[in-house]
Amino acid sequence: MRTDREGMLVVLSGPSGSGKDTVLGELLEQVDDIEVSCSLTTRERRSWELDGTHYYFVTREYFEDKLKSGGILEHACYNGNYYGTPKTPIDEWMAEGKTVILKIEVEGAARIRSMYPNCVSVFLVPPSLRVLSQRLYRRESENECEIERRLEIAKTELLHAQDYDYIILNDMLDYAVSDFRTIIRAERQRSCRRLYLIDEVLQDAEC
Ligand code: 5GP
């Protein structure tokens, strides 16, 4: 029986424009002890994005070197660019017993699920493709061609939602955040993550 206090790995996926950043931002305001992984990407930085906060924006050469040296836990190619999760912070946070959230697409999520069978996977779904399209056009961060490509990718991503532990509908932001918070609270109490408590009770020398 494993009784040490392990971290909890949470994978959050959902089509581009489904609201992952917004939901996650609200969740971080409400729940303590959460770390969010900052990925490496070779895609161009959007005007409001900060290097080291939204992503580490790197060259293809840097990414490929890091991949070769084993510094990337999982990676995927999305719309012609590399995206990858740096390994070291994840290992450290997991060893510290933290809840660690990876905001990644479906291929990377599948890899994480096979590497960490105890991880919790959550898929955020928009109410409709029409709403998704409106959101992508409204945020004005990609041109029309790029948005149409993202919408095509979204259709295939939606077919993978069934592989996840949970599907959250992001129609009303407050409900989506509340659903995500409930999942995290419940998963933190799962018996495999709470055995250290039993250990502590049994080791109580007073009785
Ligand atoms: P965006 O270009 O919109 O920031 O991200 C495109 C997609 O790549 C999103 O679905 C996002 O969640 C995903 N993504 C971001 N970082 C990573 C990563 O480290 N690994 C994988 N597999 N996907 C990522």
- Give the tens place of pLDDT for each residue, 23-79: 999 999 999 999 999 999 999 999 999 999 999 999 999 999 999 999 999 999 999
Q: What are phi and psi of 28, to 5 degrees?
A: -65, -25
* Alpha carbon of 165 to ligand 1 centroid (Å): 19
Confidence band, pLDDT 50/70/90 cuts, at residue 206: low
pLDDT at 2 over 70: no
Cα(162)–Cα(166) distance, integer angstroms: 9
Distances (CA, A) of 120 to 33, 38, 102, 180, 199: 16, 18, 10, 11, 24
The more confidently predicted of residues 50 and 142 is: 50
The rounded distance, in Å, linking the Cα atoms of 124 and 48 is 23
Question: Residue 140: what pLDDT?
Answer: 79
Query: Which pLDDT score is estimated for 139?
Result: 86
Residue 196, classified by CB atoms within 10 Å of its CB into exposed (0-12), middle (13-18) or buried (19+), is middle
User: In testing the pocket of ligand 1, which one of 39, 72, 112, 143 has its CB within 8 Å of the most ligand atoms?
Assistant: 39
pLDDT at 6: 83
Closest-CA residue to 17 (of 164, 168, 109, 124): 124
Atom number of ligand 1 nearest to Cα 106:
22
> What pLDDT, in 10s, does the model give residues 105-130?
999 999 999 999 999 999 999 999 99
Task: Choose the residue to mutate in 66, 79, 103 for probing ligand 1, maximizing ligand atoms within 8 Å of C-beta.
Answer: 103
Whole-number Å distance between alpha carbons of 24 and 28: 6
> Closest Cα to atom 12, ligand 1: which residue?
104
